Amino acid sequence: MIAAIVAESTTAGVRAAFARLQSLPADSLIELRLDSMDVPDPELVRESPRRVLATCRRPSERGLYRGSEADRENLLRRALAAGAAFIDVEYEVRPGWTWLPADHTLVSAHDFEGRGTEACRAAIKHLDGGAAYAKLALKAHNLADLIHLRILAQDAPGRLIVLGLGIAGTVTRALSHQTKAPWTYVRAPSDQTASEGLAHIPTLDDFSTWGLVAEPPQYALGVLSDRAGDSIGPWMFNRLFQQHGIPATYLPIATSDPLSLKPFLLAWGLHGLSVTIPFKRAALSAADQVTPLAKRVGAANTLYIDRGQWIADNTDVVALRDGLLWGGREALAGGALVVGAGGAARAAIVALEQHGCPTSVTSRKPEQAQALAKEFGIEAVPMPSVPPRILVNATPIGSTRDPDSLPVPAELLTSEQFVYDVTYGPRPSPLIRLARERGARVLTGVEMYALQAKEQLDRWFPDLSLGTRELLAATQFAIVKKFVRDSA
């Protein structure tokens, strides 16, 4: 069940938000954040199209209310009298609010710094004392924090809502059915910018994209990165799932480090995972088995389950290998330069190796290129002065991480080349634009993403057979939706 957060500054804004929420499932809640209003009006509860959870938080609770405690209590009394189904109150305050019926009470415990063990105990104590529900919200930085939250949720299934604060906490909101939470929170559509305390919370549109508004999914997958929100994966995969009736969701999973990846997968019941910068090498240690291809690359971008075992694989190699054929056999005979020394560069080297193409590698960090060259038996070179026949950009240069730079000097681009750029973005990268101007044949990160995604789907859902053309269309759709929304 969803609780849509309405945090508008004006009465007109609240009414407009209510109008947008008319189509919410009938059992949904609307959290009316009275503290967000310039002049709080609890009588608006009567106009809500769904049951109301009324909230009025102070700055210490990441809210905006600065009035007296007596006035705050009066506002929430009036909200209850107007028909609010529940009143959200912090656990430290609740003992003094004897007027608040237990069956209308949601007791909240927030810990913005620590791991929340004491706050959790306090919230559970209120449940034991008769409160209808409790909510525990803790700052989440990494996968270990998400495992900790999953464990805490076991204390009162059906009555306890456990949420991770920050972008890393998205999983706790999207997969709340795993914890048997009575509901989860999303931000309602709004014309105003979300406050700092709400900006990290997924929107109702996010939940719609992820296929989570109605029934919980049977399968949960995602993309793991330190900047998972940059990925187009949630747009692309969820579109395909919905088009083909697959009961699955694909989520952004952000973390500051990949430690505890295997326990995280088990704790949150994931079915598969894409892994991208900078965790492709670390993904190998999370698997029960590693495919020969992933071993050769020394990195994995895909985790999937086969007969109860987690398998680490590398579909980037297949995408690069097949994509390189678009440049023609002649180009492959002429030799290649790989720019970069990370997971994508490793995959590119192995793909070129499978074609028998002479390959060298260069990097802004020469010591990394030399280590890579030694591992794969190729040559590490400084940036050459002679244009290579095939140029593979396996760095983030040109992506949203670095959208305005070239990974090589402009004089290295000629009409005789095949240029393969693994990056994607709202428009062709500077490398691709210049290569096209020079008359080179090119392949972009759009094609690479579609090719590797097809391979991932084959592993996650072997009975699903999709063509490259459909994957390309879904990738292009995802880029438009993702980057148009982010620029709005």
Q: Which residues have a catalytic role annotated?
A: 280
Pairing of strands 441-443, 418-421: parallel
CA distance 161 to 119: 13
Decide if 313 contacts 336 (C-beta within 8 A).
no
Residue 316 CB contacts under 8 Å (≥ 6 apart), including other chains: 297, 301, 343, 344, 347, 348, 351, 422, 448, 452
Decide if 188 contacts 21 (C-beta within 8 A).
yes
CA distance 471 to 27: 36
The per-type count for the chain, helices as H runs and strands as E runs, is 16, 20
Tokens of 470: 């459909």
Core vs surface per residue 7-38: b (16+ CB within 10 A) or e: bbeebebbebbbebbeebeeebbbbbbbbbbe
Q: Sign of the CA dihedral 114, 116, 122, 127? A: positive
Radius of gyration in angstroms for the set of CA atoms belonging to the chain, rounded to a whole number: 26
Structure letter (DSSP) for residue 426: S
C-alpha of 51 from chain center: 29
